[in-house]
Chain A
Amino acid sequence: MISKEKWIEDTLELASVVRQVELPETLQENVLKRLPAMERGIASLQPYAKWTIAASIALLIVLNSFTFIKYADRGNRSSTENQANTIYSAYFSFIN
């Protein structure tokens, strides 16, 4: 029976005897087949994709800024209205 240490060393040694495997036959052809499709995709996108992406980002920024400004303004207005309502209700509190 072999000792534990020897067994471990022998097992680790197997890493150096792994031989290279041949490439599957269809692999090269599969890669080459996928290339034209990929190129076509990129080529058809390139001329206007850049501008579409840029326009989308610009639109997103404008919409976000607009919404932010609008809601910030509404927030300010509602807090001044609340303040005014508190003063008026205090003034007319004797009615209740």
Chain B
Amino acid sequence: MQDINEPNFIKQIQAGDEDSFRRLLEVYGKTVYNTCLNFLQSAPDAEDITQEVFLSVHLSIQNFKNDSKLTTWIYRIAVTKSLDAIRMKKRKKRFGLMRAMFEDLNNEPIFDKPNFDHPGILLENKERASILFKAIDKLPENQRAAFLLNKIEQLSYNEVAAILQVSISAVESLLFRAKQNLQKILANYYEQNEK
């Protein structure tokens, strides 16, 4: 991501300069959208949350102090908003499950998440990538965040630590556990489907 962490640029946005905010959108829009897409595994949801992220940035830029990089701060908002949206979806899913117990929904498997067809994956890898994304979806939140930021967004341990506000050793541990869990989930899948 191109970094524009210049105090003057931030001051201009804080002063309400629309052109600077437009520039911020141009520089960070793609990254925020891709982060949200990887977390939410749905293009329309990612679009909604990206909008929320920038509205949030616009609202709280006044409180931004240069104690972290602008990139880190925006990433943090994107991760938090995406995880909130996932939690909200899960709550809705639980409510839907309860409703289905009382209503006849013709036995439709409405709760199964559809396979995620990531637009950034080559055609020959699509099937296996959707298995990987389903497995990632089963990870605990912090492991999922660390894995997605490090492995897919290709951020360094330092950057992931700054975004998640944990130590570097905590990031290492999260990644180690994420990989272990993913191996277990994938092994399970392999036993059931690929063997």
**In the complex, what's the smallest C-beta–C-beta distance from B63 to chain A, in angstroms?**
14
In the assembled complex, B58 has its CB within 8 A of some CB on chain A = yes
When C-beta atoms are compared, the residue in chain A nearest to B33 turns out to be A23
Q: How extensive is the interface on chain A, given as a class?
A: 20 to 34
B151 and A31 form a contact (CB under 8 A): no
State the interface size on chain B (CB cutoff 8 A). 44
A15 and B183 form a contact (CB under 8 A): no
Please classify the interface of chain B as helix (H, G, I), strand (E, B), loop, or mixed, using the class held by over half of its residues. helix
Please choose the segment from B87-95, B123-131, B165-173 that sits at the chain A interface, where 4 or more of its residues have CB less than 8 A away.
B123-131
When C-beta atoms are compared, the residue in chain A nearest to B28 turns out to be A23
Chain B positions near chain A (C-beta within 8 angstroms): 18, 21-22, 25-26, 29-31, 33-34, 37-38, 43, 47, 50-51, 54-55, 58-59, 118-122, 125, 128-129, 131-132, 135, 147, 151-152, 154, 179, 182-183, 186-187, 190-191, 194-195
Chain A positions near chain B (C-beta within 8 angstroms): 4, 7-8, 10-12, 14-24, 27-28, 30-32, 34-35, 38
